[in-house]
Structure 1
Amino acid sequence: MAVPETGPPGAPPPPSLRFARTGSRRWVLLQNERPLLLARSEGDGCCHDLHLRRLPGHHSPLPPVSAATVRAGGEWTHRYARWLEDAAEYGPLRAGRWRLSPRTTFAPGIWSCDLVQDWPDATIELLCGGGWHGVLPLRPLQAPDTPRVKALRKHAREGTLAPVLLWWVSFLDGWLLLDGHDRAAAALAEGTVPACVELVRLPDDADWRATAAEITRSHEERMARLDAHPATLHHARQRQAMERGYADALSTLPYDAAATPIDP
């Protein structure tokens, strides 16, 4: 989905939910200028520890999912897209292109050892180059025996639980859990991974087209060097493989995740 610019050209207002840098190795997650998450990176070399303190007050950008809404069924991704577009008060959408789609597979450990459950303080080990590839809730996950979670566990067993909403954050190489904390707790209590809808910021048209032009120039140069050699059966197979790789690279460019902005 595309979010149009508002306000003066070239100066759209910041979204309600946004990251801001507060120092060379510090940043904060703000919602309507209220801090929800304070982060500080420590350590030398390429691998750092990220110290987090989460604060109360997170408002989901989605309205509560009622029992009637669950019974009505329907396409959750489209429903979430409509709600997000209407949720300027609490959501992360800023001008540009976004992808909202079901996320059905995760690497092992994402919803277990890489799910940050300590509250309010936690420390995660960032991999070389940044990120840890986990899930970070913005409020505590309730215990499996709390009334709300117990009621949702029945839906988890029946496969009627509404999906949670994840926001992919590039510099964490992981996700923020924006909506569905109790649903996530219910699914995990039943030994299953929560159904997920993933929100990802995409590159602007000018950016991915510039990358495509660069890839095309490089591909044409490699093909010219290959064609300068005598044609053989091996040559034909190599040419076919290079053409296939070039097509695959171009086909994903408009949909690859873009960098998550951090405002000054």
Structure 2
Amino acid sequence: MARATREPLPGGGVVLAVPDGPSGPPPLRFERAADRGWILRQGERPLIQARSEGDGCCRDLHLRRLPGHRSPLPPLTAAAMRTGADWPHRYALWLEETELGPLHFGRWLLTSRSTSAPGIWDCDLVQDWPDATLELLCGGGWHGVLPLRPLSAPDGSRVKAYRKHAREGTLAPVLLWWVSFLDGWLLLDGHDRAAAALAEGMRPACVELVRLPDDADWRATAEEITAAHEEQMARLAERPAGPHTARQRQALDRGYADVISTLAYDANVTPVFEDPRD
């Protein structure tokens, strides 16, 4: 894959602008399947087979996960973890180099997450293997973490070694991929590190990978929002001046600034590709 343009973010993290490359889907991608289903593939290997059941906005998503997932990141040594790193930038570099990951044309955000909402790593962590059912909330998601292989036992040799790192504060973060239609994450790398952190009573630190809107898309949205804001301000200017209208003007300006400032970094839809075999 051609090198992406990097945009370091002031608060940490990096945006990768991946250039248009060879036609075809990325190595790790979702593909449509029959009966409201989809398949997650890595290369030609299926990793998840999913089908949706139920009517209305709240449905059950039945999953069968299959063996064979290969991490898009290289193995991490103990020395590398103890040395520390700017993990979002390090993971971004490795994702550019791998032939096992989800990157394709567009903008991608990698940021560190040291905290998470309640439930993500306990009741909404999918530990059943290979079959599991997600009860999707109205709107489509369940807001949890879906591992791509079983988590190892807390007393496994690798997990025990990682537990020492967790206690020392040198455990490298796991890599999560935000999937919009699940309203949740796939665990792409760090299954044993996640098991180690959980065994120590901690929530795993994460680097989150999110697909962002393309420049043309978010700029077009910004133009629409700006036009609507200017129309609101013009109507407000026609009213008699006073403390109430001044407060309204300030509130509208604050709301407009808040929306515009995040447009380029809001999560975009995760694409589902057509199966080329059809």
TM-score range, shorter chain: over 0.9
Query: How much has 1:103 moved relative to structure 2?
Result: 1.3
2:157 equivalent to 1:142: no
Structure 2 match to 1:56: 67
Structure 1 match to 2:162: 152
Mapping 1:9-20, distance limit 5 Å: 12-20=23-31
CA distance in 2 between counterparts of 1:127 and 1:146 reads 35
Structure 2 match to 1:202: 212
Mapping 1:22-171, distance limit 5 Å: 22-87=33-98, 89-171=99-181
Deviations 1:118-139 (A, max 9, x none): 0000001000010100000000
CA distance in 2 between counterparts of 1:207 and 1:105 reads 30
Task: Return the letter of the residue paired with 1:175.
Answer: W
CA distance in 2 between counterparts of 1:50 and 1:165 reads 23
CA distance in 1 between counterparts of 2:157 and 2:144 reads 27
2:18 equivalent to 1:3: yes
SS in 1 for 2:258: helix
Where structure 1 has 5 or more consecutive residues not aligned to the other structure, the ranges are: none
Deviations 1:29-77 (A, max 9, x none): 0000210000010011110000000000000000000112113222111
Task: Return the letter of the residue paired with 1:53.
Answer: R
Where structure 2 has 5 or more consecutive residues not aligned to the other structure, the ranges are: 1-15
Task: Describe the shift of the 1:91–1:242 C-alpha distance in structure 2 as closer, same or farther (beyond 3 A).
Answer: same
Contact conserved, 2:35 with 2:51, CA < 8 A, in 1? Answer: no
Contact conserved, 2:114 with 2:204, CA < 8 A, in 1? Answer: no
CA distance in 2 between counterparts of 1:74 and 1:263 reads 34
Query: How much has 1:2 moved relative to structure 2?
Result: 1.0
Deviations 1:235-263 (A, max 9, x none): 10110110011011000000000000000
CA distance in 1 between counterparts of 2:115 and 2:103 reads 24
Which residue of 225, 229, 248 corresponds with 1:215?
A: 225
Task: Return the letter of the residue paired with 1:78.
Answer: H
Task: Name the count of aligned residue pairs.
Answer: 259
Deviations 1:142-178 (A, max 9, x none): 1111111111111111110010000000000000000
> What is the aligned-residue RMSD (CA, Å)?
0.9
SS in 1 for 2:109: strand
Tell me the TM-score normalized by structure 2.
Answer: 0.92
Deviations 1:85-131 (A, max 9, x none): 101x1000001100001012221111000000000000010000101
Contact conserved, 2:213 with 2:267, CA < 8 A, in 1? Answer: yes
**Range with bigger deviation, 182-191 or 100-109:** 100-109
**Range with bigger deviation, 119-128 or 224-233:** 224-233
Task: Return the letter of the residue paired with 2:73.
Answer: L
CA distance in 2 between counterparts of 1:177 and 1:125 reads 19
2:252 equivalent to 1:242: yes
CA distance in 1 between counterparts of 2:114 and 2:245 reads 39
- Runs of 4+ in structure 1 deviating by more than 2 angstroms, as ranges, are none
SS in 2 for 1:160: coil
CA distance in 2 between counterparts of 1:148 and 1:41 reads 36
Which residue of 243, 246, 262 corresponds with 1:252?
A: 262
2:203 equivalent to 1:188: no
Percent of aligned positions that are identical: 75
